[in-house]
Amino acid sequence: MQIRELAISGAWELTPKQFGDDRGVFLEWYKATEFTAAVGAPVMLAQANCSVSAAGVLRGIHYTDNPPGQAKYVTCARGAFLDVVVDLRVGSPTFGQWDSVLIDDVDRRAVYLSAGLGHAILSLEDNSTVIYLCSLEYSPELDHDVSPLDPDLRIDWPTVGRNGEPLDYSLSAKDSVARSFAQARADGLLPTFGA
């Protein structure tokens, strides 16, 4: 497995070795020893989620109060997503910046993001399926959102899907009314770096 830290401290891209033959493909999408050596701690599993999305579905930017925080280990089982990590940690050297990884059913990369980071995904084709491991069970009282389309964040969302068709973004009702990055900061809802 190749592990590369992203431009945002506390986030990594993981690219597994794939072994294929005429029967299909095998890969290890998580291996505790390699992950722990690179990241410094194993994934703490409290919940596992699966989400299937049509092309253009944009989910996030989601984050959880830190502490306790929620780390995520995310991969794509089918289709393709642009996975975006946003540094929402006040005081971080990369505060307000983002990085992205294409996760798909070809390279089968994964993304790990530490607690305190914001997360969003954009489906690049119909029936794309993301699965992710979470270090904290879903706790709605701890969850927050920042608009993924906030112009202050300048996230470069693709406008064309994997099949070359234009993408029409589709957000949940909750994500459609999410605070701006500036408002979340003004309201004291952003995590603190080093928490």
Over range 92-112, report the average pLDDT: 98
In a domain, 194, yes or no: no
Q: Is the pLDDT of residue 30 over 80?
A: yes
- Confidence at 194, pLDDT banded by 50, 70, 90: confident
In a domain, 195, yes or no: no
Q: Is the pLDDT of residue 195 over 80?
A: no
Over range 121-146, report the average pLDDT: 97
From the candidates 30, 62, 112, 119, which is the catalytic residue? 62
In a domain, 191, yes or no: no
Over range 81-102, report the average pLDDT: 97
Over range 134-143, report the average pLDDT: 96
Range of the domain at 76: 2-186
Task: Quick: pLDDT tens for 16-27.
Answer: 999 999 999 999
SS3 assignment, position 124? coil
Q: How many domains does the chain have?
A: 1
- Residue 132: active-site member: yes
Supply the pLDDT for residue 123. 98
Task: Quick: pLDDT tens for 150-183.
Answer: 999 999 999 999 999 999 999 999 999 999 999 9
Task: Quick: pLDDT tens for 35-80.
Answer: 999 999 999 999 999 999 999 999 999 999 999 999 999 999 999 9
Supply the pLDDT for residue 44. 92
- Residue 144: active-site member: no
Supply the pLDDT for residue 191. 96
- Rounded CA separation 114/62 (Å): 13
* Residue 96's CATH number: 2.60.120.10
In a domain, 192, yes or no: no
Q: How far is CA 17 from CA 29, 71, 102, 108, 144, in A?
A: 9, 24, 16, 9, 35
Supply the pLDDT for residue 54. 98
* Residue 50 contacts residue 128 (beta carbons within 8 Å): no
In a domain, 193, yes or no: no
In a domain, 54, yes or no: yes
In a domain, 25, yes or no: yes
In a domain, 60, yes or no: yes
CB contact burial 44-72 (16+ within 10 A = b; e otherwise): eeeeeeeeebebbbbbbbbbbbbeebbbb
From the candidates 73, 132, 144, 169, which is the catalytic residue? 132
What average pLDDT does the structure give for the chain?
97
